[in-house]
Amino acid sequence: MTPGCKMARARRPPVLLLMLLMLLGGSCRLSRGTSAGPVPLVIWHGMGDSCCNPESMGYIKKIVEEKIPGIYVLSLRIGSNLIEDMENSFFMNVNDQVELVCDKLAKDPKLRDGYNAMGFSQGGQFLLVQAQYWHDPLNEEEYRKNSLFLADVNQERGINGTYKKNLMSLKKFVMVKFLNDTMVDPPDSEWFGYYRSGQAKETIPLKETSLYTEDRLGLKEMDQAGKLVYLGAVGDHLHFSKEWFFKNILPFLQSS
């Protein structure tokens, strides 16, 4: 995200989509002030979806509101209508989407004391895709030179202290990996792992990546402080049950 935006960015897998029907590919928890009431929730949908689809984001919004009475849930719409919202998830420049969302969040008075953020698939990263999110392990220099988004977010062309500070302000950074994912390449990137440089077969976990060892985003320090949470869901990309959601995700939204 842009330096002034308080919402944290998750790393995008190589071809990618980060995470839920949803991939709760990135559920992030931001701090809240002293105001009474449930912590608000911001939802960012994935590619090809929309803010209010009753079979996906609309459904998630509904069950969260049922389980946490009085909660304010903002499901982000990128565009003036649902069609634009869906089209923009494919074609709108990632950085433009981030700027738009940052502005929207900053102007919402209900979010001024903090909020929880839940990103599904690419929404968990920006958690766009293909060209904008692809990290080519076979041509690292070309990737760093021409990447429109990912190389900057991963601090691979220079260190932006604001990115690191904002990410480290999270109380919890929850990452969900779909254990039978056939869409994200490689699936380990849902937990910030990636291909070992120079080839595209063997993957390494987050702790063996330079992103972690050099602590460019603060993930190592967050890990040592117990802020990183790794969850696994049996099933393909964005496939999870209501029961799994209630058991594994809802507790993070209920504790304020």
35 counts as catalytic: no
241 counts as catalytic: no
Q: Which long-range contacts (CB under 8 A, 24 or more apart) does 199-205 make?
A: 199/137, 199/138, 200/137, 200/138
Residues forming a β-bridge with 194? 204
Residue 79's identity, in one-letter code, is: G
89 counts as catalytic: no
87 φψ region: left (φ > 0), alpha (ψ -120 to 50), beta (else)? alpha
The active-site residue out of 85, 181, 188, 189 is 181
Rg of the chain in Å (alpha carbons): 17
CA dihedral 84, 90, 95, 96 (to 10 degrees): -20
Give Cα separations from 243 to 15, 22, 57, 246 (angstroms): 30, 14, 16, 5
The active-site residue out of 27, 50, 89, 121 is 121
Give Cα separations from 97 to 55, 149, 234 (angstroms): 23, 11, 31
Q: Are strands 116-119 and 41-44 parallel, antiparallel or unpaired?
A: parallel
Catalytic positions, please? 121, 181, 237
